[in-house]
Chains A and B, each alone.
Chain A
Amino acid sequence: MSGMKSAFSFDGIQIAFTSGQSIMQAVLDGGGYIPHLCYHPQLSVHGSCRLCMVKVGDRYLSACTTEAQNGMQVENQISELRELRLKLLEMLFAEGNHFCPSCELSGNCQLQALAYELGMTHSRFPLQYPTRKRDGSHATVFLDRDRCINCEICVRASRELDGKNVFSLSGRGSDTALQINSEDGRLGSTDLIATDSSARLCPVGALVFKQGNYAERPNERLYDTHIISETGNRRPAVVSGGYPELGE
């Protein structure tokens, strides 16, 4: 590190940063936490889930897309933002089909973990019950679009970490859906393999491994006992086919 020391205030705590870093990067590097679903430190920035909204003065900004500035006053843990994030979470639940009791990722899911932490009990918005296609054509990985939040983590991971191009989005608006870039549109016809990062970074239970699920007992899974703002966004190896966890 070179140059002048820069810092900003984050809920009253001074956070150091290097120029060009986003608020999110600086806070995570400093051991703090801002709720996020579409951000991953190893991938390019997306800015779509909007859970990382923070307040700077009277402006609402997404922490993952906003560069840190010296002397900035960033508010994060305030009731107004908790309420805003709660509504965003409820929207994510309302627009998909999230039946946690039967989901492979339940207990290890970042969407669910954020809902637990923020004390969400239900969605105040009418549930949409969309009809979306599932894809079980791949030998090891299963795609359940009902739970997909269009964060494009798999899209980016495939391109940026795996050097492949397995996923993309199609449609627009509420019809936006994860699409497979193969000739027949099926996951099984792609060059995706189990060790690919794109198969192991989905923050929710949309891309899951077919084998080894439900191995942990309820109460023993990561977010059953750990609060996400303390543990961070993680996808334990046990739900990723046993391959080592890809760190944040």
Chain B
Amino acid sequence: MIGPYQQLEASTQRTAIEQLFAEYWPAGIYRRDLLQVLVAVQQHFGWISSIAMRSIQTALRDSAISLGELQGIVSFYHFLQLSPAASWQIHLSSNITDLMAGQRGHWKTLTDYAAHWPERLQVRISSCTGLCDQGPAMLLNGYPIARLNPERVQQILQNVEANHPLQDWPSELFAVTTKIVKEGPVLQHQANPDAVLTQINSCGAERFLQELELSGLQGRGGAGFNTADKWRNCRAADGPEKYVVCNADEGEPGTFKDRVLLQHKLDNMILGMRICAEVVGAQRGFIYLRKEYLFLLPHIQSALQRFRQQGLISLGFNVDVHLGAGAYVCGEETALLESMEGKRGIPRIRPPFPTTYGYLGKPTVVNNVETFCNVTLIADHGAASFRQLGTDQSPGSKLHSVSGDCQHPGIVELPYGASIEELLQLVGAVDCQHVQVGGPSGRLLSRDAFSQPLDTAHVNSGGSFMVFDRSRKIPNLLANFMHFFARESCGFCTPCRAGTQLLADASRRLQSNATDDAELENIREICDTLKRASHCGLGKTAGDCGEQAIEKYSLHMAAKSLAASDVQGIAQQEDSAGLA
């Protein structure tokens, strides 16, 4: 843990950077390492100085890169900065659940302090730090501090004022604990790596692939693509060089189940990757870890070390960690691959899909953390046992990250097919009016839909589940989500680059009731354009999200205009639109 950041003299800086390179990249730096190098420099020095960029230019082995291009990469990622570092850097999480828990007040306290002493403290926004069950949350020099309240914020400011080295700060501040509200097979599963691998080896890759097919496992990252199909495509792809990538970018606001799996079920996940490598014939694996989860890096690296020592991942298959740098879009698998290659995270044109043209153009499987955990579960207990839970179309269980207005925010593992109502009961959500399932990219559902089952055929979810009671207003949700999309749009395609910004602006007026019918119609048209013309899923779902919220908002307005004739009716409709 590094802090406070120091202002270093040019020569000292240069030497320190060279030492850093020598330590982490003894064999020299290649183009594809660029993002990792930039992240390391950012983490060690608090910014990417021109000295650092020059050092990178000189150290690059395989190709020259211009300063402009380097800046292009740096300016793409939220956590990389070109301006000099303050001693302390705060990124305040700004998901709707953070706002609901009082983030705005802390923002004011912290920015007031920073305004008086900008060299000491810098405060910025980050989209969602994956701590929604314990928000409001923030990152301090890259490390999470959750459960912010006025006292804790004062405590942080006192330490900033005193400039205490980060390792001397009370460790209690940095505690990240998540309540497991309900366990299921995935969270209960304790795999014996040796036994699982022996079994895979004895039955053979093809045989296991058949078992995986029987299990009907669907990806847990959101899209729900059939995992066996993906693996078979990659297995069939030509070429000796293949890769397995674990998508631990978990950027969807309100999602933190991958963090919990990384904390508690890491071995199962790594085993899942190992099995995948066996099946598709890959020699290397990567865990693409979002920068917000930097605090888990030592834990992950020691697990990998342990696996290596036990010979479980050294024999022709090694796993490394790739860090993200703050970009939701990099959770999209092709943007993730671009980012892994050290570039700006712009989604590729598909097809070709990663299974034939992935990392460095080689066949690659990209799966979610939870998907790999399920693979290990299936390898251990078989498809039949796996299918005992869930529905025919969506077998198995799903982890939900629950946050918002409920008594027990945390992780709930439920069989596919369980209803929204069941989940709400488990977490003690007594006064729930709306839920946003699957994050801003998912669906906004009101009471009339709570009997619906949570599975890929009905209400599909990547694992975010946010609960809203009757005190919450739709325009505020919409504004938060629209600012999220505008902040996270990669800017590549017209509808999303322009449209998400237009929607964010419009949502601000919606919040202050300054929107007329013509503007509502405009908002619908923007959403429609996003849905139909966007290059990748981000833009498409941004349009979807806006459309749903506007629909509910219009219901509210319709209810209002009924006021004169039917007082009873409006009370009911306002309730269901969440605007009372």
Contacts and interface: CB of A to CB of B under 8 A. Distances in A.
A binds B: yes
Interface of A: 45, 47-51, 53, 60, 62, 65, 67, 84, 87-88, 91-92, 94-95, 124-126, 128, 149-150, 165, 168-176, 179-183, 185
Interface in B490-531: 490-495, 497-502, 505-506, 522, 525-526, 528-529
Interface string B64-98: 00111101100110000000000000000000000
Contact of B493 (A47, A171, A183): A47
Contact of A53 (B349, B528, B533): B533
Contacts of A124: 522, 525
22 contacts: A48-B494, A48-B535, A50-B493, A50-B494, A50-B534, A50-B535, A60-B532, A84-B529, A84-B532, A84-B533, A91-B495, A91-B498, A126-B502, A150-B491, A169-B344, A171-B72, A173-B487, A173-B500, A175-B491, A179-B71, A181-B69, A182-B68
Given A50-B535, A174-B501, A179 B68 contact: yes
B498 A94 contact: yes
Contacts of A126: 502, 505-506
A94 B75 contact: no
A176 B76 CA distance: 9
A64 to B, nearest CB: 9
- Determine which residue in B72, B499, B534 has the highest number of CB atoms from chain A within 10 A of its CB, and name it: B72
Contacts of B344: 169, 172
B486 interface: yes
Nearest to B505: A126
A223 to B, nearest CB: 20
Contacts of B502: 91, 94, 125-126, 128
Interface in B443-498: 486-495, 497-498
Contacts of B492: 48, 150, 176
Nearest to A65: B349
Contact of A174 (B489, B528, B533): B489
B66 A128 contact: no
Nearest to A85: B533
A176 B493 CA distance: 11
A88 B531 CA distance: 12
A100 to B, nearest CB: 18
A173 B69 CA distance: 17
Contacts of A48: 492-494, 535
Nearest to A44: B349
Given A50-B494, A50-B533, A185-B71, 11 more contacts: A47-B535, A53-B532, A62-B535, A87-B526, A91-B529, A125-B522, A125-B526, A171-B76, A173-B488, A173-B491, A182-B67
Contacts, number: 126
Q: Which 7 A-B pairs have the closest CB atoms?
A: A176-B491, A181-B68, A181-B66, A91-B498, A174-B501, A95-B498, A170-B72
A172 B76 contact: yes
Contact of B67 (A84, A87, A149, A183): A183
A170 B80 CA distance: 13
A150 B71 contact: no
B533 A60 contact: yes
B497 A150 contact: yes
Contacts of B75: 170-172, 175
Contacts of B487: 173
A50 B491 contact: no
- Most chain A CB within 10 A, of B69, B71, B491, B498, is at B498
Contact of A88 (B76, B495, B505): B495
Nearest to A88: B494
A124 B489 CA distance: 22
Nearest to B69: A168
Contacts of A49: 493-494
- B66, B505, B533 interface centre (most CB from chain A within 10 Å): B533
Contacts of B76: 170-172
B296 to A, nearest CB: 26
Nearest to A55: B532
Nearest to B77: A172
B68 A180 contact: yes
